[in-house]
């Protein structure tokens, strides 16, 4: 497509809140009109994530992103506590206000994390899904080094702790899930870990 027409297509897509990535179209609904300013960042992250998931043998489904108007709106829509950034239910990604994620510097990481969940095999246990999502997104690189204190926790208990969303120990549980997922990926590679072989 000539660059002018392509530019127009991108502009129109941005106004409509729809963009395509390899293997999956993303439509975005923002509750707060000020969040429209962050659509280019969302779509940019989406295109990158489509390529990176494809390289792992995963395909993005057509996905819908619904950004809440506030932390309480997010909690009301999802039943999640206010401090959770986003959650993916099937092919719908629910997020906090995009501006709030951008202010924290976590908007692209959150898109990558949730896109991984949208594309991952459904059969992954929760702890592994979360650990892999944080490795894939780049969030893992921000983790402090050193022991998590949860090294001896059985896998099922770790999954249950992640599901319970207790504010106090959630970040240690995410770090521990990420530590275990990283070890698996380093020794077996992404393909085998994703296939649970
Ligand atoms: Zn997650």
Q: Which of 137, 170, 167, 174 is nearest to 48 (CA)?
A: 137
pLDDT tens figures, 4-41: 665 555 555 555 555 555 558 899 999 999 999 999 99
What's the pLDDT tens digit per position in 141-181? 989 888 999 999 999 999 999 998 877 778 899 999 999 99
How high is the mean pLDDT of the chain? 89
Confidence of residue 81 (pLDDT cuts 50, 70, 90): confident
Confidence of residue 1 (pLDDT cuts 50, 70, 90): very low
Residue with tokens 């108007």: 69
Q: Residue 113 C-alpha to ligand 1 middle, in angstroms?
A: 6
Rg value, the chain, Cα: 17
Ligand 1 center to 127 CA (angstroms):
9
Average pLDDT over residues 72-87: 92
Distance 87 CA to ligand 1 centre (A): 7
55 alpha carbon to ligand 1 midpoint, in Å? 20
Q: For 54-88, b where at least 16 C-beta lie within 10 A, e where not — what string?
A: eebebebeebbbbbbbebeebbeebebeeebbbbb
In the chain, what are the domains? 1-119 (3.40.30.160), 122-197 (no CATH)
pTM for the predicted model, two decimal places: 0.87
């Amino acid at each position: 497509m000539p660059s002018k027409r392509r530019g127009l297509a991108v502009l129109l897509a941005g106004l409509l809140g729809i963009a395509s990535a390899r293997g999956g179209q993303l439509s975005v609904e923002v509750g707060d009109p000020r969040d429209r300013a962050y659509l280019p960042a969302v779509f940019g992250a989406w295109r990158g994530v489509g390529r990176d998931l494809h390289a792992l043998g995963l395909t993005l489904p057509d996905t819908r992103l619904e950004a809440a108007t506030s932390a309480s709106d997010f909690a009301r829509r999802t039943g999640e506590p206010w401090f959770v950034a986003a959650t993916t239910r099937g092919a719908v990604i629910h997020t906090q206000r995009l501006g709030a994620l951008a202010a924290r510097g976590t908007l692209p990481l959150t898109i990558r994390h949730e896109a991984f969940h949208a594309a991952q095999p459904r059969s992954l246990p929760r702890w592994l899904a979360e650990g892999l999502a944080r490795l894939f997104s780049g969030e893992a690189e921000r983790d402090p080094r050193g022991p998590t204190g949860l090294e001896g926790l059985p896998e099922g208990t770790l999954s249950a702790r992640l599901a319970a969303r207790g504010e106090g120990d959630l970040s240690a549980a995410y770090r521990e899930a990420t530590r275990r997922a990283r070890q698996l990926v380093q020794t077996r590679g992404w393909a085998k870990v994703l296939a649970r072989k």
